[in-house]
Amino acid sequence: MDKLKKMTSYRLFWPIVCLALVLLFNLIKSPSFFEISIKNGVLYGYLVDIFNRSSELIILAVGMTLCVASSAGTDISVGAIMALSGAVSVYLLGSGETYAIPWIAAILIGLVVSVLCGMWNGFLVANMKIQPMVATLILFTAGRGMAQLITGGNNLYVKVDSFKYLGGFLPHIPVPTPILVAIIVVILATLFLNKTATKLYIESVGINPRASRLFGLNSTKIIFITYAACGLCAGIAGMIATSRITSIDANNVGNLMELDAILAVALGGNSLAGGKFSVAGSVIGAITIQALSTTLYAMKVTGDQLPLYKAIVVIIIVTLQSPEFKKYLNRIKAKRAAKTAGEKVA
């Protein structure tokens, strides 16, 4: 019993249970769910598909976790930043038979744009002390418009084959590239956070910025950096998303991804009120969301009806995770225990 208690109090217990439930449901429905095969030299199967499609979300969720933890606010501009940085890269690469400028240069410039966007958000939140949601609402509103300005309102296509690598497969490597990128981002973030004191700094700023300031931490700078990092993550996700469709569609790239990213953070057991956080939790949250979508698609739910079922599951999950609900359950349990104890005495 004690062991069970210890297990349920473990931070990632509930997020993992949620993911396991979704996967278990699939296993019962279609036993072939966990099969992974190699077709045409690449990995193939439901699980690979889930991981592959959740890559962008995982990357976004990593950045979002940091923002939420440091500033108790959400960055709702990540979807727009994805579109903007993607538009910049595709515009620079041009739609000729060869790249107009080297691939790596275009990607780097796109990422620089995304970091600049993140820094702008960070400046507003950290230095100007504007509520994060309002501050990022500015880029949320303008970002896609700016992307449209760059593309001239058209969908631009890149015709060079190697542009597909980032969103598809590298030659001779069976694992989809987005998965590799996501893994690299998560590992780098974890190493950076845990091997240095950064995680501790971010958490303490998130719990109490003023106290951290008095303690000698530069709260403003830390919040600023988390937003810049979030921008970078959005940029990376944007690169993958544009490479997947080898074009930029400024209206639809990363559309509503910011909401999924925030959801991933919350499903991962992180409080949206800031403070303590777990990147691993957010990653699990992101995979859960994608697993859920894939499951529903497999059950022949159409894309536009999908949100309905997603909403029901989300509400159930957050209700189960809510402290008030747990308190209520505990109260019932205590009552029952008191009753049985009373009966025993009698």
Q: Under the rule (CB under 8 A), what is the footprint of another protein?
A: 74, 124, 128-131, 133-135, 137-142, 144-146, 148-149, 153, 259, 262-263, 266, 272-273, 302, 304-312, 314-315, 318-319, 322-325
Q: How far is the CB of 327 from another protein (least distance, A)?
A: 10
Q: Give me the least distance between CB of 307 and another protein, in Å please.
A: 4
Distance, CA of 226 to CA of 204 (rounded, Å): 13
Whichever of 74 and 177 has its CB closer to another protein, that residue is: 74
Question: Minimum CB separation from another protein for residue 302, in Å?
Answer: 7
Q: What is the closest distance, in whole angstroms, from the C-beta atom of residue 137 to another protein in the complex?
A: 6
- Cβ-based nearer residue to another protein, 8 or 319: 319
User: What letter represents residue 83's amino acid?
Assistant: A
Whichever of 236 and 257 has its CB closer to another protein, that residue is 257
- In the complex, what is the shortest distance from the CB of residue 39 to another protein, in angstroms, rounded to a whole number? 33
Minimum CB distance to another protein smaller for 105 or for 130: 130
Q: How far is the CB of 76 from another protein (least distance, A)?
A: 8
CB of 130 to another protein, least distance (A): 5
Q: Which is nearer to another protein, 43 or 64 (CB)?
A: 64
Token digits for 69?
A: 């933890």
Closest to another protein by CB, 42 vs 207, is 207
